[in-house]
């Protein structure tokens, strides 16, 4: 059965997704170029974007694929790096349950950016669900198109990619600042920063990510449980 959306809903979702478009297209193009630089064709960039669809880890995955990392290392890193989406989904648990077959797609496409946009939606129930779905769909298309364009350009045009991987860092800094301004409590953000810096000093820049993610995830789960019981 084909799902039909009103022109108003389509327009609202597209307008809401424009900020995501502005960041996703350029970041995903950088990802596609880095994949091409590592020797992977454009369709590998598309395949990864279709199945993995998590920008930060896709950049890390390039290194893993190039170095022949084990599947266990790749899977564990992916799980820990994207564990924050588990907390995001709690906010929309009720809405996702009511979206029927679209629920699994909404879970798969939950990202920092779509979460931020969804939090700003103040619409009637049906219109909100349709808008959330379309924002997720549009955003994923932006990322895939950018990945393919970057992969093709990276193969036919010789680019100096020095420093291009910083675009993902810049994107997360913008998201962090935006969420900091909107959040009522800053303790989770400060906890994450503190643990990250501490693990960096203890384990070094090449080994701090996993222990930092484990500790932060455990602490945030503890905080969430306390708030639920309160």
In terms of Cα–Cα distance, which of 78, 87, 76, 43 is closest to 59? 78
**pLDDT value, residue 84:** 65
Per the confidence metrics, is the pTM higher than 0.75? no
In whole angstroms, what is the distance from residue 47 CA to residue 32 CA?
Answer: 11
pLDDT in the model for residue 56: 76
- So what's the pLDDT on residue 198? 92
pLDDT tens profile 38-49:
888 899 999 988
Give the single-character DSSP code of 171.
H
Q: Give the pLDDT confidence score for residue 93 in this predicted structure.
A: 77
pLDDT, residue 160, reads 66
Token pair belonging to 211: 């222990």
Token pair in block for residue 208: 């701090």
pLDDT < 70 regions, the chain: 1-3, 83-88, 90, 158-169, 171-172, 175, 206, 209, 226-230
pLDDT for 162 equals 65
The residues, any chain, with a CB within 8 Å of residue 196's CB and separated by 6 or more, are: 208, 212, 216
Q: What is the pLDDT of residue 206?
A: 66
Which pLDDT belongs to residue 14?
92
Q: Which residues contact 181 (CB under 8 A, 6 or more apart)?
A: none
Q: What is the DSSP string of 60-82?
A: HHHHHHHHT--HHHHHHHHHHHT
- pLDDT tens, 96-113? 888 888 888 888 888 878
Euclidean distance between the first and the last CA atom of the chain, given in angstroms as a whole number: 44
């Amino acid at each position: 059965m084909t799902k039909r959306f009103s022109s108003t809903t389509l327009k609202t979702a597209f307008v809401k997704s424009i900020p995501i478009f502005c960041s996703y297209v350029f970041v995903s193009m950088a990802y596609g170029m880095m994949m091409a630089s590592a020797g992977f064709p454009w369709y590998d960039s598309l395949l990864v974007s279709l199945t993995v669809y998590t920008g930060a880890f896709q950049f890390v995955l390039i290194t893993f694929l190039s170095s022949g990392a084990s599947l266990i290392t790749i899977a564990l890193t992916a799980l820990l790096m994207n564990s924050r989406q588990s907390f995001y989904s709690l906010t929309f648990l009720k809405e996702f349950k009511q979206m029927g077959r679209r629920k699994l797609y909404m879970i798969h496409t939950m990202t920092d950016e779509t979460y931020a946009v969804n939090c700003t939606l103040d619409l009637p129930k049906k219109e909100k669900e349709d808008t959330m779905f379309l924002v997720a769909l549009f955003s994923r298309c932006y990322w895939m198109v950018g990945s393919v364009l970057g992969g093709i350009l990276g193969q036919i045009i010789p680019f100096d990619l020095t420093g291009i991987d910083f675009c993902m860092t810049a994107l997360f800094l913008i998201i962090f600042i935006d969420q900091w301004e909107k959040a009522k409590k800053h303790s989770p953000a400060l906890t994450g920063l503190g643990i990250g810096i501490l693990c960096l000093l203890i384990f070094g820049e090449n080994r701090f990510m996993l222990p930092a993610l484990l500790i932060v995830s455990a602490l945030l789960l503890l905080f969430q449980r306390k708030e639920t019981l309160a």
